[in-house]
Chains A and B, each alone.
Chain A
Amino acid sequence: MAEIVLENIMKRFGSLVAVNDLNLDIKNKEFVVLLGPSGCGKTTTLRMISGLELPDEGKILLDGEDVTFKRASQRDIAFVFQLYALYPLMTVYGNMSFPLRTQGYSKAKINEEVNRAAEILKIKHILNKKPKELAGGDMQRVALGRALVRRPKVFLLDEPIGTLDAKFREEMRTELKKLHVDVGATTVYVTHDQIEAMSMGDKVVIMNKGLLQQVGTPQEIYNDPKNLFVAKFIGSPGMNFINCTAVKNESGKVYLKIAAVNDSIHIPENLQILILDKNMVEKELILGVRPEDISLEFKEKEDYIKSEVFIIETLGSYNIIDIKMGIETVKVRTLPVVVPDIGTKAFIGFDMQRIKLFDKETENSIM
């Protein structure tokens, strides 16, 4: 068991509020990712969970016990580790057994723990090798193994793979996720990379300027971002944002007037009602639409907006086509076979069941 509860946590550094009234529940065996840009308070939060930093206000509970002012070593469950830096002169076995040897475990116990970790990570066959003889992926597994042998109840990780090559990061994401599935320890992971958060987290916690923005499963924060900040931060390529105004005509119907092209589009009844309910008529809105929720046509069509092909990005399994719609650029995800000429006239339509509407003033979703 390893449950973590943060209650009304405040942390200030001088006049800067690093973490502002944070409440968070981390369940047993959950993989929770703290995500946000630098300076958002994610690392400070992790350090407070570990005991390396003390909060100014609020409580931290571990399995129900108040540990707010306990030292890091007394918490005995947290272990912040980096995924690189193996001892080059020690074998894999030496590296993995190191944390146990320093704590004076018996030889038999060390042997048992190293073998157990090696089994999970499928690295039993390289236990006698030196780090320099290893492929990159194996090296990372050994580093993980070194953390695993201690059987921590909670893993605390702070941007452990941020400095690796893109390709390698991808392998490690899968590896870490798999390890979590196999071992099932509660994990709190800090990153600024939304791909890491999405691909590994059971739950993603998005922070900005010390304030919690949204908590949810990857699917939830992707499909229902609560505000523009979250919507911008999640997804690659990111959501498109189009300035518009809700307009009501004489017969009471509500349309969206797209600022960049001075054109209007119909919206389904549920959105019309929503706009009326929230008093957003004649107010400035931002229409958010993901690249995969836009369709691209090369003939005029009702409610499709006239635009022009700006550039094509091919990615093998799909293409991203940048479309110029007046002064705004819109990214559209298409099948790899769609390769229009640059400068071609195009028409784009939005999947109305998938679009998001944000209040331009408050930047909050109105949905």
Chain B
Amino acid sequence: MAEVKLISLKKTFGNITAVNEINLDIRDKEFFVLLGPTGAGKTTTLRLVAGLEKPDKGEIYLENVLVNKFSPAIRDVAFVFQYYTLYPHYTVRQNLEFPLRSNLRKTPKDEINRTVGEISKILHIEHLMDRQTINLSGGEMQRVAIGRAIVRHPKVFLMDEPLSNLDAKLREEMRAELARLHLDLGSTFFYVTHDQVEAMTMGDRIGVLNEGNMLQTGAPDEIYNKPRNVFVAKFVGSPVINLLDSEIVGEKLIIGRRDRAMECTLTDLQCKIVGNAKSKNVILGIRPEDILVTREKKEINSFECSVYFKQSMGVEDILNLKVTDELIFRAIAPPKLMVEVGETLYANFQMSRSHIFDFESGERLELNN
């Protein structure tokens, strides 16, 4: 059982609060991803768990044991860094054997051989075992670095953007491999990244961190479909969610603070939600795939617009649609619709898939608040 529990964890550097009283409960065998922009406090959090930094305040539990006072060596965690830290003139085999050979462990020779053999198979590096690591490609090196973390069978893996230095193709492959490795090993992964795609694709749960504050934790689909605030909504999902300044007037939502060009009919649930809202000024969040593009006007929430520009991604087209000069938003259309720039179309807002946030606080409006 390898849970990680953080209680009111705080760390400051000078007058900068890197980690601001965060609480976190990472379950045994979970793949937990801490997601946030540069400077959010992600790496600091990971380093606190590893024991490489000391917290100003708060408690860190590994397997229900308070480890604040433990040195990194006895916390039994393995750290995989962004930059692979291998011994360049050792062979892959020697690099993998190294953690087991240390005086602390004194693993018998045949056990070392067996463990290293198994791991090379899992990571598909059997053919590289006798090469010097200096002669490996980036992806191969990162695999060896992960391998070296695995050989010790640590309870918890801490990974700090391990894929960020790989090229796009390799990153894509390694994502799936890491997710599967996690399943096969059955260990707890605590993974840090600024890339929402990595978080969404690999994480069992995601924690979104910004400026040291934990904004939301939840399964990928929860984070995606019920973002708790504007920041989370914007940070997760690609192409980015549309965030449109709006005002509530009765049971209608008027989009466009100045132009007031679009009048949306809210769903029954949304009517109840905005009925309780303190302010009538809101932000409508609607993802590009939740705006259906048609050539005919539909009955409800169907707005005439022109195609400002188009981004052909191959699998789909991202359309930038213009209602007025101030009101531009993105929608997704299938390439077979053959949309032309300048063409007049209808954007159909699927309001049941939309999100309403308070304009001032940026917090999601819900029935109970």
Contact = CB atoms under 8 A, between A and B. Distances in A.
Contact of B240 (A171, A235, A238, A311): A171
B289 interface: yes
B312 A317 contact: no
B196 A234 contact: no
Contacts of B183: 311, 342
Interface string A143-155: 0000000000000
A317 B318 CA distance: 13
A238 B170 CA distance: 10
Interface string B191-216: 00011110011100000000000000
Interface stretch (A10-18, A76-84, A194-202, A275-283): A194-202
* Contact-residue bracket for chain B: 35 or more
A336 B167 contact: no
A112 interface: no
Contacts of B172: 236-238
Nearest to B313: A198
Interface string A273-317: 000000000000000001110000000000000000011011111
B365 to A, nearest CB: 21
A339 to B, nearest CB: 9
Interface stretch (A101-109, A172-180, A263-271): A172-180
B180 interface: yes
B289 A166 contact: no
Contacts, number: 112
Given A236-B168, A313-B202, A198 B311 contact: yes
Interface string A306-333: 0000110111110010100000010101
Interface in B302-316: 308-309, 311-315
A322 B176 contact: yes
A234 B314 contact: yes
A192 B202 contact: no
Interface of A: 37, 165-168, 170-171, 173-174, 177-178, 181, 192-195, 198-200, 217-219, 222-223, 232-238, 290-292, 310-311, 313-317, 320, 322, 329, 331, 333, 336, 342
Interface of B: 37-38, 167-169, 172, 175-176, 179-180, 183, 194-197, 200-202, 220-221, 224-225, 234-240, 287, 289, 308-309, 311-315, 318, 320, 330, 332, 335
29 contacts: A167-B194, A167-B240, A170-B240, A171-B240, A174-B239, A174-B330, A177-B320, A181-B309, A198-B311, A218-B313, A222-B314, A222-B315, A223-B314, A235-B315, A236-B172, A237-B172, A238-B172, A290-B314, A290-B315, A310-B176, A310-B180, A311-B183, A313-B179, A313-B201, A315-B201, A316-B200, A316-B221, A317-B332, A320-B201
